């Protein structure tokens, strides 16, 4: 007992304080956390909304001249695949697609930049709503696909930030130095 009192006196032991109990994670809560972290909740990396915020149509069209995609092309690609997979998830007919993935990047039009930013936010919100409304059986069938959508989004959001850094339009206060 004397050793315990000495340890407490020197700060080596602290009395156990009640911990705030978090609810146990569920498949739904984990998938929603992943989707939010790539959409609008900054965590380990910059979410999409922050990555495209404040970018002009001209900046969204910029490329490095080395064959890499512009921010606008990357956003169009994300919109296309997030929307297409969401249509599958909901059991809706899918938009026509030739199978050429290059088309999902190359359809960018600077005149539609503001609409593209809005569409990206909408499709990501729609994914969150769909997962939140889904039952456990559906999520068990789709968990891998939904997790891969989050990973795919994070990958291309990283590219968006890199393009912005290269062009000098990135504000490091947004989360990436």
CA distance 100 to 125: 26
Residue 159 is assigned to a structural domain of this protein: yes
CA distance 139 to 132: 10
CA distance 81 to 68: 19
- What pLDDT is recorded for position 142? 96
Q: What single-letter DSSP state applies at residue 130?
A: H
Domains in the chain, number: 1
Residue 148 contacts by C-beta under 8 Å, 6 or more apart in sequence?
A: none
Residue 129 is assigned to a structural domain of this protein: yes
The alpha carbon dihedral of 161, 86, 149, 44 has a sign of positive
Residue 1 is assigned to a structural domain of this protein: no
The alpha carbon dihedral of 116, 118, 124, 127 has a sign of negative
Residue 9 is assigned to a structural domain of this protein: no
Residue 88 is assigned to a structural domain of this protein: yes
Extract the residue ranges of the chain whose pLDDT is less than 70.
1-19, 177
Q: Alpha-carbon dihedral of residues 172, 104, 110, 157, nearest 10 degrees?
A: -10
Give the CA distances from residue 150 to residues 41, 163, 170, in Å, rounded to whole numbers and listed in that order.
Answer: 13, 20, 22
Residue 151 is assigned to a structural domain of this protein: yes
Q: What is the CATH number of the domain that holds 103?
A: 1.20.120.450
- What pLDDT is recorded for position 3? 44
- What pLDDT is recorded for position 17? 54
Residue 30 is assigned to a structural domain of this protein: yes
- What pLDDT is recorded for position 157? 97
- What pLDDT is recorded for position 135? 96
Q: Which residues form the domain of 89?
A: 24-174
Residue 114 contacts by C-beta under 8 Å, 6 or more apart in sequence?
A: 57
Residue 121 is assigned to a structural domain of this protein: yes
pTM: predicted TM-score of the whole model, two decimal places? 0.85
Our CA angle for 42, 154, 136, nearest 5°, is 85
Tell me the per-residue pLDDT of 47-92, one tens digit each, with 9 for 90 and over.
999 999 999 999 999 999 999 999 999 999 999 999 999 999 999 9
């Amino acid at each position: 007992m004397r050793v315990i009192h000495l340890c407490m006196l020197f700060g080596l032991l602290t009395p156990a304080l009640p911990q705030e109990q978090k609810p146990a994670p569920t498949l739904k809560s984990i998938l929603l956390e992943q989707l939010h972290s790539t959409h609008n909740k900054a965590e380990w990396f910059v979410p999409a909304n922050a990555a495209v915020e404040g970018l002009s149509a001209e900046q969204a069209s910029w490329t490095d001249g080395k064959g890499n995609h512009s921010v606008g092309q990357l956003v169009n690609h994300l919109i296309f695949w997030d929307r297409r997979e969401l249509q599958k998830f909901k059991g809706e007919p899918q938009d026509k697609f030739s199978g050429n993935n290059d088309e999902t990047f190359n359809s960018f039009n600077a005149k539609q930049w503001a609409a593209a930013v809005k569409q990206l936010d909408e499709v990501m919100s729609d994914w969150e709503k769909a997962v939140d409304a889904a039952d456990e059986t559906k999520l068990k069938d789709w968990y891998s696909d939904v997790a891969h959508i989050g990973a795919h989004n994070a990958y291309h959001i990283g590219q968006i930030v890199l393009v912005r850094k290269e062009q000098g339009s990135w504000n490091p206060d947004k989360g990436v130095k």
